[in-house]
Structure 1
Amino acid sequence: MCAPLHAHTFRTVAMRCQTCGDATSPAYNECQRCATPLGLPAVLPGRPTYPVRGFGLAAAVAVGAATLAYLPGALFPLVGMRMARSAAARRDGDLLLGAVVAEGLFAVLYMVALLVAGVLVIIWTWRVRRNLDAFPGALPSLGPAWAIAGWLVPFANLVVPARVLANVARDSLWRRRTPPLVALWWAAWLLFLFADATVNKLDNDRYLELAETPRSRAEFTAYHDHYQRALGPRLVPALVCLVAGASFVVLIRRISAAQQDRLAKAAPAWPGWSAHPGWPTHPGWPAHPGWPAQPGWPVQPVTGVSPQVAEDPSVTSPQVPPGSGGTIGA
């Protein structure tokens, strides 16, 4: 007579995502918060990664400096009106020439600040995009080269930088959708480019109508009226410049902090570790002895006695790989 069956209690051990720390479920192939495939580390071993905290801070400071450098030129009509009144009272055309020189210096200062910010932003963009290649679960739609070319190629620079940053923001900040901050930044930036170009053209056309060497009071007054009319339109690009600059600074800081925190979770390297020829691999991912098999991964069959176990004519022992870990590039 068979012995009665005893009830067994099965306990499910909840695994935690190595990227965000949330509990994972075997019902899904990836973490529902950060999209990291189950069982994979936060950073793929063997993939080059780049620190972004320092460059992120430098780029954010440069963007903020360029934003502030634009404001003196935008608000210069306030100074121009005072100088035009003084020139009319003294009948001194040199004061009007001084106003032109001062405005030109502000424009040069802004262009230098914009150039420095542009170089740092391009380097930072390339680094944060390159790091996505080492993040399991990231799905970049454009290659790292577009992180540079996207800013420089005409017409493409109206769309590509936003696409690259949207992708980086989603995969770095664990968002299923593009964060609204990306849309706010890019919309404000495009509006600034259009408004600034339009206002500058109108100002230049009106300035060419003024007397080159004013002599009468009416000619001096015309300069005052020119600066007075220019003030209102210039406030539009100044406002959207502040919005674009502030939102981009916040975006840079958030992405940099998120990526740097993830890089800090990279597993330490094993001394002398190298992949075994028999371990399974997945397209685009390096082989690793401790990773669990995922759907679609090829399984290496057991073909003989393990080289690490003494041969026994009656016992065959499969090789047991070491625990999970890895190495990252500097």
Structure 2
Amino acid sequence: MRCATCDGETSPRLSDCPTCGTPVGAPAVNPGVPTRSVHGVGLAASVAVAATTVCYLLASLTALVGRVLAERAARTEDQDTLLVAGFVELAANIPYLLAYLTAVVLVIVWTYRVRANLDAFPGSAPGLGAGWAIGGWLVPLVNLVVPYRVVADVTRASVWRPGTARLVGVWWAAWLVFLVSERWTERASEREFERLSAYPTIRREFLDYADQYSAALNRSIVPMVACVVAGATLIVVIRRVSAAQQARIGRGRPAAPMVPGTLVPYPVAPGTTPPPPMPPPGAGGTIRA
């Protein structure tokens, strides 16, 4: 007998699965408890996270463009060339913000659905209610701990693979590093820009802008690496949890009832002649003149 939760071998002599603790013989899904499809929203959240990661990298790398334009402006002492660098940075940040907001909404929706599905899975014992799957992301300071706990509970109850559980820890650690380093980088760049001349006229003032772009690029290395690690691990976790829950929901879905009157094929051994078809009900009797 195989466990409906972890698909491991169980023994009728045991009351619970030795791997996951699910009662032996329990169904894949508790009857009467609603479940939610997570395949579509999981795919959409994965795409949004990937798009956010790419857009952030592109927005950070605009410092390279800014440095080149600032050096060109220093050679020509042209303020318009320096303004182009600002427009490039602004144009790159708009897609990032849109992708980020989309990813936030989709990840929250996905987190709520996969957490709510645990209520229908025998053997799952989440430590937090389904409401925390939403509120945990929105409440300040709480959002530094609770989303990790919710996703960790979901992963343990959905994917019985130690590697995936470790990925959740890597994702959350990288996410926290990204939040802190990105905020520090942004504030440091703002302070440096405030010290620059608003209307540069000489070569040295233009070169100060080039130096600032170089410093901003160097500072963004840590948040860029953290962003890539957090985005990649989150996508893997979303895909594995979604696939595992969809498979379990499919195993727990009752078979379609047979329509009365449906003909069931008679099993025939190879090399033998099939029996004649049975007459429909009420078709028996003698032929009358």
TM range (shorter): 0.7 to 0.9
For structure 1, the residue ranges without an aligned partner over 5 or more in a row are 1-14, 272-330
Alignment-derived partner of residue 92 in structure 2: 106
Structure 1 position 263 matched with structure 2 position 249:
yes
- 1:73–1:16 distance in 2 versus 1, CA, 3 Å: closer
- 1:40–1:221 distance in 2 versus 1, CA, 3 Å: same
Aligned residues, how many? 257
Q: Secondary structure at the match of 1:265?
A: helix
- d(CA) in 2 for partners of 1:217, 1:270: 78
Measure how far apart 1:26 and its partner are.
3.8
- d(CA) in 2 for partners of 1:38, 1:260: 21
CA contact (8 A) 1:167 1:178 kept: no
- d(CA) in 2 for partners of 1:251, 1:133: 20
Out of 183, 194, 208, which is 2:194 matched to?
A: 208
Deviations 1:166-195 (A, max 9, x none): 000000012589811011000000000000
- d(CA) in 2 for partners of 1:21, 1:229: 53
CA contact (8 A) 2:36 2:113 kept: yes
- d(CA) in 2 for partners of 1:208, 1:229: 15
Alignment-derived partner of residue 126 in structure 1: 112
Deviations 1:255-313 (A, max 9, x none): 00110110110141797xxxxxxxxxxxxxxxxxxxxxxxxxxxxxxxxxxxxxxxxxx
For structure 2, the residue ranges without an aligned partner over 5 or more in a row are 258-289
Q: Secondary structure at the match of 1:50?
A: coil
Alignment-derived partner of residue 226 in structure 1: 212
CA contact (8 A) 1:69 1:109 kept: yes
CA contact (8 A) 2:5 2:158 kept: no
- d(CA) in 1 for partners of 2:256, 2:214: 70
Alignment-derived partner of residue 52 in structure 2: 66
CA contact (8 A) 2:6 2:20 kept: yes
Structure 1 position 38 matched with structure 2 position 21:
no
- d(CA) in 1 for partners of 2:221, 2:10: 51
Out of 148, 151, 154, which is 2:137 matched to?
A: 151
Equivalent position amino acid for 1:173 in 2? V
TM-score by length of 1: 0.74
Equivalent position amino acid for 1:48 in 2? P
Alignment-derived partner of residue 28 in structure 1: 14
Alignment-derived partner of residue 160 in structure 1: 146
When structure 1 is superposed on structure 2, of 92-101 and 252-261 the one drifting more is 92-101
Deviations 1:220-239 (A, max 9, x none): 11111111222111111001
When structure 1 is superposed on structure 2, of 65-74 and 128-137 the one drifting more is 65-74
Percent pairwise identity: 51
- 1:267–1:112 distance in 2 versus 1, CA, 3 Å: closer
- 1:110–1:138 distance in 2 versus 1, CA, 3 Å: same
- d(CA) in 2 for partners of 1:44, 1:90: 73
Q: Secondary structure at the match of 1:179?
A: helix
Measure how far apart 1:27 and its partner are.
4.1
